[in-house]
Every structure is written in C-alpha cells, then in structure tokens.
A = this chain, B = another copy of it.
Amino acid sequence: MVRNGSVESPSPRPRIHQTHPHDTPLFQSTVSQSNLRRFNYWILLFRLSAFCFSLSAAVFMLTTNVAHHDHDDDSISPPRWYHFGAFRFVFAANSIVAIYSLFEIGASVWEIYSNCTVFPEFSQVWFDFGHDQVFAYLLLSAGSTGTELARQLRGVDTCTVNNAFCIQSDIALALGFVGFLSVLISSLLSGYRVVCFMIKGSRFVH
C-alpha cells in the first residue's frame, strides 16, 4: 500500500475522489498497476528514442570538423562547427538532452521493476514534466537556430567550397528535430501524469 505513493507524499489539493488507501479494492489496484506499467513502457520507448536521436545529433555535430584535413591546402581554411555559435548551441542542447534522457531511462526502468519512483512521487512527476517541457523547447530552439545558420551558409558559398560540412550539419539538425519530437511526446505523457497526480493524488492512470 505504501507503493501507491499516496501515503508518502503530500497532495497539493484535497483529494475528493480518493478512497482511503486501506479501503482500495484489490481489482482496482491491479488494474491501475497494469495500466501504469503499460504507460511506463510507452514513456520508456520515447525516452529511448530521445536518447538515441539526440546523442547521434550531438555526435554528428561533433565529428563534422574531423573529416576535412585534406582541405588544409586550400586558401580558405575549412569551417569547423565550433566556429558557429548556432552549431555550438545545437551540440550543447542535444548533449544535455541525451544525458537527461539517459537518467530518465534509468528512472523508468527502476519504476517498472520496483514499482517505486526514484524521488518521492510529487517531486518525480513535476521533475519529469518540467524538464521535458524545458528540453522540448530547448531542442526546438536549437534546431531552428541551426537551420537558419545552415540556410545562411548556403547563401555565402561555404557549402559550394565544402559540401560535406553542410551535409553533415544538416543530418545533425534533422536528427535533433527527431529527438525534439520524442521529447515532445514524452512531455505530453508526463504532463498527463502530473494532472492525474493533481486531481487524484496519485500518479496511477486509470
């Protein structure tokens, strides 16, 4: 019964619809347990996707400057990704989201196997939702900024001189946008959990 979480953590509102934990009938508990488990599998799936895509975006951006040493004899020195503020922003945002997603994957797996949240329930649902929201906006902002820079670079002949650089940064941007979509869906799911918690005083979805 302690695992329900409603005993451990204070609720921000009075729980109108909630029965006393010791009165909960067994069938409702097992139904909501299995619903929560299915819900957690979905969240885990999108966290995995966010991790893979944002990590690959960061790695693609990071390796963009390595492959062009054969251009050193050109009069124009080859561009490096870290010469451009927008690309640094893309790299930083995707790295942060990759680290955060790794942590959240751990938290999800822990919750699926032990039925407890890592932090107290109240902190956990708000932590997840708040970070998902912020990181979704962060990734979109980084992606848009990087895309505008990539468009500008096409205008000023950087891409005709060094086309591989532009293609590789385009791929990194595209991967970042897919990562953004994953974080966006995670944020909708964790937002649903937050409102469930606000209304019913427990993270269990019915």
Contact = CB atoms under 8 A, between A and B. Distances in A.
A59 to B, nearest CB: 23
A71 interface: no
Contact of A137 (B16, B140, B149, B191): B140
Interface stretch (A2-10, A50-58, A119-127, A194-202): A194-202
A196 B148 CA distance: 39
A69 interface: no
Contact of A145 (B16, B148, B200): B148
Interface in A148-206: 148-149, 151-152, 184, 191-192, 195-196, 198-200, 206
Interface residues of A, number: 26
Consensus secondary structure, chain A interface: helix
A106 interface: no
Number of copies: 2
A46 to B, nearest CB: 16
A192 B191 CA distance: 8
16 contacts: A13-B206, A86-B148, A137-B137, A140-B144, A141-B144, A144-B144, A145-B145, A145-B148, A148-B148, A148-B152, A152-B152, A191-B191, A195-B195, A195-B199, A199-B199, A199-B206
Interface of A: 13, 16-17, 85-86, 137, 140-145, 147-149, 151-152, 184, 191-192, 195-196, 198-200, 206
B195 A85 contact: no
B151 A85 contact: yes
A174 B13 CA distance: 36
Contacts of A151: 85
Nearest to A150: B148
Nearest to A28: B16
Contacts of A141: 140-141, 143-144
B145 A147 contact: yes
Contact of A144 (B13, B145, B195): B145
